[in-house]
């Protein structure tokens, strides 16, 4: 018959996998050259985290955004967030995949929360300062900017899970009996 329950031992593999996806999303957001922002109508202006370009077809003139302090701060915050995320991923692999080390889980949650805070600040500062400095019409935020938010949301969710998991040590180790949410006869 059908039974539905939470299999906590699966968290030992799923959480590091989610962090790996967050790392991939962050790398895509940071390294994207096609831009975080593009002009809505004419498609004649786009900007990534690193530079902004104007032009048409194959005639693009690009200027670095790194001459502005806000762009340097955004880049630094995103890179620091990525480094903290990579450290949290490595510790989570050690804590969950190799051996079960419950004491490291709150540390991983704290690292993820700190990384998420850095990235939230960067992802809010970028559009505010971009619109203030370079705004000339309507702009759309592209998939690369969305990947930055996606990584941040995954980090927040995983931080909550890593902070809550120490309460379920027996469940994670497989010693506790599974409690079914729904059973049918």
Residue ranges in the chain assigned as alpha helix (H): 11-31, 69-92, 105-134, 143-164, 169-173
pTM more than 0.85: no
- Output the average pLDDT for the chain: 83
Per-residue pLDDT tens, the chain, 185 aa: give them: 344 455 666 667 888 999 999 999 999 999 987 778 887 765 777 788 888 888 777 787 888 888 989 989 999 999 999 999 999 999 999 888 777 777 888 999 999 999 999 999 999 998 888 878 776 667 788 888 899 999 999 999 999 988 887 776 666 666 566 666 666 65
Q: How far from chain centre, in Å, is Cα 68?
A: 24
Q: Given its phi and psi angles, is residue 53 left (phi above 0), alpha (psi -120 to 50 degrees) or beta?
A: beta
55: β partners: 60
* In the chain, where the domains are located: 7-36+62-183
Report the pLDDT value the prediction gives residue 77, as an integer from 0 to 100: 96
- CA of 156: how far to CAs of 58, 80, 139, 143, 152, in Å? 40, 16, 28, 20, 6
Report the pLDDT value the prediction gives residue 88, as an integer from 0 to 100: 95
Report the pLDDT value the prediction gives residue 14, as an integer from 0 to 100: 85
CA distance 95 to 108: 9
Query: For residues 60 and 53, is the Cβ–Cβ distance under 8 A?
Result: yes
7-36+62-183 CATH: 1.20.140.150
Summarised one tens digit per residue, pLDDT across range 9-54 is: 666 788 899 999 999 999 999 998 777 888 776 577 778 888 888 8
């Amino acid at each position: 018959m059908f039974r539905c329950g939470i299999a906590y031992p699966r968290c030992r593999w799923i959480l590091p996998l989610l962090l790996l996806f967050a790392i991939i999303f962050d790398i895509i957001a940071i390294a994207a050259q096609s831009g975080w922002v593009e002009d809505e109508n004419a498609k004649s202006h786009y900007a990534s985290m690193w530079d902004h370009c104007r032009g048409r077809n194959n005639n693009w003139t690009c200027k670095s955004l790194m001459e502005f302090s806000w762009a340097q701060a955004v880049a630094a915050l995103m890179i620091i967030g990525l480094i903290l995320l990579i450290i949290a991923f490595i510790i989570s692999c050690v804590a969950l995949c190799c051996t079960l080390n419950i004491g490291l889980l709150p540390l991983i949650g704290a690292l993820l929360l700190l990384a998420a805070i850095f990235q939230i600040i960067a992802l809010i500062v970028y559009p505010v300062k971009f619109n203030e400095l370079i705004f000339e019409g309507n702009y759309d935020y592209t998939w690369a900017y969305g990947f930055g938010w996606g990584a941040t949301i995954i980090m927040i969710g995983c931080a909550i899970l890593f902070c809550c998991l120490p309460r379920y040590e027996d469940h994670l180790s497989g010693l506790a009996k599974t409690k079914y949410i729904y059973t049918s006869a």
